[in-house]
Amino acid sequence: MRSSPDRTGRTLLTLGTALWVASMALATLTAHGKPEKQPRRGWWQAGDRLAALARAESARTAMAATESASSTPLVDLLEGARLFDQETFGGNGRTCLTCHSRETGTVSPADARARFRHDPDDPLFVHDGSDDDDGDGFGDGQHVTRMLESATFLMRIRLHPDVEVKGHPEIREVTVRRGTPTTLNTPALDPVLMLDGRQPTLQEQALGAITQHAQATRAITSRELDLIAGFQRTPRFYSSRELLLFAFTGHNPPVLPAGRTPSEKRGRIFFEDLPPDFNVNPPNFKPGACAACHSGPLLNQTNQFLPVAVPPGTRFQSVLVSEFNAAGNPVLDFVFRNQLRDLDPATNLDGVPDGTVEVSSPDPGRALVSGRADDFGSFDQLNAFKNSPLRGIRHTAPYFHDNSARTLEDVAEHYRNFFLIVSDPDGPGPLEPVLVLTDQDKKDMVAYMKLLD
């Protein structure tokens, strides 16, 4: 059955709400069943003795990092740097550095505008960096409005065999507009690569970038790919000394900074691994509200308190960025076949994967790669993207996969709207959402995010 885009969106949101609330109820029971307080662990709690131990450990890890970096022959490091910064592979003039700057690991609209003023022929603006003027999904190589305004690229994504553009089974690739995630921290510390997780290794990722973004015309050797991968793990590619040491030693994962101002200290509560506070009436759902999906050393994985049917450590979720489509990107109708459930959750539960899910979306994210849109209750496929790391976040605006949030303030406003929907027990009914972020909350979480290195 065909669902209108509106109805599709609403059904998903209502389902989302129902499940979020149901699981919150479950979380309540669990919380009451276990009276002991959630232990809060962190170096900041350590007394002087532990602090001294930590300093000794830190000195040891610094030495280990130096040894490890120096175990890569210098010639390989230099060649890796040359391949990343300068080599064009006989293509359109781009190198990795064209889109992944030394300072931030990405490219912002402000960067794009400065570069355009300096040189309108900068290779940033060619090919997938130019406007798709006739709507065929490819850049026209001349107009650059999109790059100057939002710094997004036209990414061609191969469709999973179970996914079709409605009415066009012959189309096997679609174009989506995506920003550039930073190359700081991720290459060494994040096994999930690309916003939709579609590349299994740094080598395959680099090969894709060289053939697609840079339109290489010469053969690329596997040794070159290894050198590029290795280079992205060297000390240039971290947002802080702590992350560098952690990457090289595996010890002392960075903890949450304590916060200095009252606002930062209040903001921290959203990022602590905490369950909602059920000792107050009404219960307070703000503690840990962000940590539920931004936990672990890079603050990019779910913890045990996310009230959604996914295990802790999950790396994909939808936070309604494609659903809201604040970027105003072109929307396509997709048909997903061989699904375990169709849009009506009461039907097609016979375990036979013969259901059909129809969705309209500017970018279904993970679902295009996995072929699954039947993720009611887990929200980790349809319109789902990699949980963004938050370390060094103040340097890498704009935000979200489509660069739709210009500032961290915009991000906070997005989450206010997100929680109004997912924490509303009866959807558009009379009951109020249980998590309503105030202006002060938004300021506090932004102040805190600016501390994250």
List residues binding ligand HEC (CB under 6 A): 94, 96, 98-100, 129, 153, 155, 178, 180-181, 183, 186-187, 193-196, 205-206, 209-210, 213-214, 228, 270, 289-290, 292-294, 317, 319, 321, 385, 387-388, 390, 393, 396, 399-401, 411, 415, 445
In the complex, what is the shortest distance from the CB of residue 190 to ligand HEC, in angstroms, rounded to a whole number?
A: 6
In the complex, what is the shortest distance from the CB of residue 210 to ligand HEC, in angstroms, rounded to a whole number?
A: 5
Cα distance between the two ends of the chain: 49
Phi, psi (5° rounding) for residue 158?
-75, 130
The answer to whether the CB of 358 falls within 8 A of the CB of 3 is yes
Q: Which two tokens stand for residue 170?
A: 């012959």
Could you tell me where the DSSP H helices lie in 34-124?
48-71, 74-85, 96-99, 109-118
Q: What span, in angstroms and rounded, lies between the C-alpha atoms of 121 and 147?
A: 13
- What size, in residues, is the chain? 453
Could you tell me where the DSSP H helices lie in 326-438?
366-370, 408-422
Rank residues 245 and 408 by Cβ distance to ligand HEC and give the closer one: 408
296: left (phi over 0), alpha (psi -120 to 50) or beta: left
Residue 67 CB neighbour total at 10 angstroms: 10
Sign of CA dihedral 103, 109, 112, 118: negative
